[in-house]
Structure formats: C-alpha cells, structure tokens
Amino acid sequence: MRVVFFDCPSGASGDMILGALVDAGVPVERLRDELARLHLRGWSLAAREVTKGAFRATKVDVGVDGGHHHARRNLGDILGLLAASTLTPEIVATAGRIFTRLAEAEARVHGSTVDEVHFHDVGAVDAIVDVTGAVIGLAALGAQAVFVSPLPLGGGLVGGPHGRIPVPGPGTLELLRGFAVVDTGVRAELVTPTGAAILTTLASAGARVPPMTVTAIGYGAGTMDLPDTPNIIRCVVGEAAEPGDAPAAAAGEAVTCVETTIDDMSPQLYEPLMERLFEAGALDVFLTPVIMKRSRPGVTLTALAPAERLQAVTRVLFEESTTIGVRWSEWRRARLEREMVTLPTSYGALPFKVSRLDGRVVTVTPEFADVARIARDKSLPAREVLDAARAEGRRLLQR
C-alpha cells in the first residue's frame, strides 16, 4: 500500500504541500493539465528550486490575474465549480470534502451556517488551485493513506479581512481540533487555513512515521524566511507492508484511546454512561476491574474514538461519571473488512455481520438481539439458535 507522510517542522500551507508533492515526483505539467479541467480562469503554475536554510526545496508559485484574486465565494460556489469540472469523481469528492470541512470550521467560530460563510483568502483562485492541486498530486503519487506529524502553532498577530487576529487564526485552530500541535517559539503564521484544511481532512491525526519502505522524498518551500528554522515541509512516500506480511485487512488506522479510573461510582451508572459515550462517537467502550490505592477495588473505563470525537467523549466522562481527570493516547488498529447482510435461514431472514480477510470470509455472526428473540419465541436455548444460525449463514455465503 502506498503511503505518504508529511513532516511539518515549520508548518504547512497549500503551496508548500504542492511543492513537496512536485519535489517527490509529481510532474508540474500533470498538475497544470489536470487543474485546467476546473475551467477556472486567471491562474498560472510554476515550480522552481530554492534553498531554505541548508535544504534544497521546490517552491511552487500560483500566479493569479489581479481581477480574479480576491473573488468572494461561498461553499456552494466552490462545490459548483468542482462539479462542473471534468476532473475525476474521486478528486471532485475529495476536494469538496476539504472545502466543506473548512466551511464548517469557519461557521463554528463565527456562529453562522456553512451557507452563510463567504471565503476570503481561501475562496480566491490561488487557494482553489492549492487545494485541488494537492488532491491531484496525492492521486498522482498513488497515495492510499496519508499521515501528518504534529503541527507547529506559531504565534503573534496577523492581518485579516476582519482586522488583526491572533495566530493561529480561529478557523485554523478549529481545523486543528483533535490533531497534535506543538509550540516551537516562532512568532509567525506557520499553518495557514488552506494547509490545515488539506492535512487535517486527508491525514491521520498526529501520526508518527508509519512502517514503510521509503521510495521518494520531497521538500516543499514556503514563502517566508524564518529565524533559525528552514521554512519547509517534507513529504515521505513509501510502500507499507503488503497484505500477506501482516493482518492488514485495513492496513492500520489511528484511533484515540480515552481512559479514566474510578473507585467511587455506583455500578448502576455505568450503563447510561456507556450509552452516552457511544452517542458521542465512541467506537468501543469497555470496563476493566483494577485494584487502586489503599487496596480499593475500582474500574478502568476505556473508550476508543476517532480523534475528532475526543472532546465530546471527554465531556461525557466528566458529566456522567465521578471522575475528575481523563487521559488519552493514540492507538493504531487494524480491522477486517466488514458488512451487514440479511440471509434467509430456517428461522427466517436474519441480519449477519460478515468480516473478510483479503476477500475470504472469516466470521459470520448473526445479530444476537434477533437470536435472543427467536430463542424466546420458540422456547429454545439461545446457544442452540446462535450455533445453528451461524452455521447456516456460513454455508449460504460459501456457496
């Protein structure tokens, strides 16, 4: 599986991402040809070699005719532009996700709706080229998974359409929710809204370099010259383990593990707590008995959730349990491909959860609520119905 890791020691912007992709092997002519399918007027694209600190890097410049640069567009305008293009459906959908996520972030910080958000800088031609070009470049590299290092926040003040605002801007900071960030002490805008939108939409949050065989490395340069810091982003391209080398039915993904240990809560309260955690976006919740200080029996509650649901899960734990603190960390997990299918059995039509490894059926499990209902209605042991239904389901799928 082809993976791409973005190392961001000095931040990220749209043109830096484009530069790194070109430096890693994406022909700039291919970017131009594909971007021309947007039918967007008033832009040009050029790549040149520059030096940032001790590093050679590629600087991609998006030239824009003056009359097109500051066009105000809302999300509908941009999605319409993408839909009217002749780009592939996959590229249109991915670029649309990036702009939608950006509009949602801006709407949250300004207390409006996505339809009311009018993009300023990110609605301009160069930003549209940056976002769509990044999607095109990753597709050209054959990227099947994208990862990103912790992102430096930057600091200070920067001018904007609403006056001077603190760095990072509110929209950028909203996009970084759930992602690892660091403060490197640099007082400048290191992560732009466009860079944040691209990376936080397409990449796994705060990931380390994944295990892979490195095949290409690209360095993209930013416009600024930073004190004691080369203003670059590094793109590492490689091949992850083949499916036969590891149980990589899903090749691995990042989830956030949220935990707390409790010794003073009524057992009756765990059921509504777990229900609310699932409503908040938890993927799994489980309890582990532990012995705490002074030999008191307690419970470790563990919730697995996508990184973007960390805040919601943490809030539920504070509201519904007696804990006064939680901890979290990033976990990696691999999942079998799975689907729900309904199969005709001797008990009637039953829903089954079916999982596969490299296309081969591994598990066939009927929904237990239906198994329990049938066992109750027919006065049969639930274990007998479960075993028989599972066997029937497997026979039907292996015909």
Cα gap 322→261, rounded to integer Å: 10
Secondary structure of 58-76 in HEC code, one letter for each residue: EEEEEEECHHHHCCCEEHH
Q: How far is CA 169 from the centre of its chain?
A: 20
pLDDT of residue 327: 95
pLDDT of residue 334: 83
Count Cα atoms within 13 angstroms, Cβ side, for 315: 7
* Helices and strands (H and E) in the chain: how many: 12, 19
Report helix, strand or coil for 249: coil
Q: Does domain 253-333 have CATH number 3.40.1190.20?
A: no
Residue 289's alpha-carbon distances to 22, 151, 185, 275, 302, in angstroms, are 53, 37, 43, 19, 11
Say which CATH topology domain 337-397 has: Ubiquitin-like (UB roll) (3.10.20)
Report helix, strand or coil for 380: coil
Q: What are phi and psi of 49, to 5 degrees?
A: -90, 135
Of 320, 222, 309, nearest to 275 by C-alpha is: 320
Q: What is the DSSP letter of 275?
A: H
| Structure tokens belonging to residue 237 | 């391209």
Pairing of strands 43-52, 55-64: antiparallel
Per-residue pLDDT of the chain (399 residues; tens, 9 = 90+): 889 999 999 999 999 999 999 999 999 999 999 999 999 988 999 999 999 988 999 999 999 886 555 567 888 889 899 999 999 988 998 898 899 888 888 888 878 877 777 665 544 788 899 999 999 999 999 998 899 999 998 998 877 666 788 999 888 999 998 888 999 999 999 999 999 999 999 987 656 788 889 999 999 999 999 988 899 999 999 998 654 444 444 446 788 999 999 999 999 999 999 999 999 999 999 999 999 988 999 999 999 998 888 989 999 999 999 999 999 998 888 888 778 888 888 998 888 998 888 778 889 999 999 999 999 999 999 999 999 999 998 888 876
Cis amide bond preceding 168, omega within 30: yes
Cα gap 105→117, rounded to integer Å: 10
pTM: 0.62
Quick check: 181 and 8 in contact, CB under 8 A? no
pLDDT of residue 379: 94
Handedness of CA 220, 222, 223, 226 (dihedral sign): negative
Segments of the chain assigned to CATH 3.30.70.1380? 253-333
pLDDT of residue 246: 43
Cα gap 221→313, rounded to integer Å: 38
pLDDT of residue 249: 41
Cα gap 347→376, rounded to integer Å: 12
Across the strands, what pairs with 213?
A: 239
Quick check: 29 and 133 in contact, CB under 8 A? no
Question: Which residue stretches of 43-117 are H helix?
Answer: 66-69, 75-83, 89-110
pLDDT of residue 250: 41
Annotate 322-348 with DSSP letters as a single string.
S-S--EEEEEEE---EEEEEEEEETTE
Cα gap 123→279, rounded to integer Å: 34
Cα gap 221→60, rounded to integer Å: 8
Segments of the chain assigned to CATH 3.10.20.300? 337-397
Of 131, 12, 11, nearest to 75 by C-alpha is: 131
pLDDT of residue 227: 85
As a dihedral over the C-alpha atoms of residue 74, residue 306, residue 319, residue 317, rounded to 10 degrees, the angle is: -170
What residues have CB less than 8 Å from 364, skipping those under 6 apart?
352, 353, 354, 390, 393, 394, 397
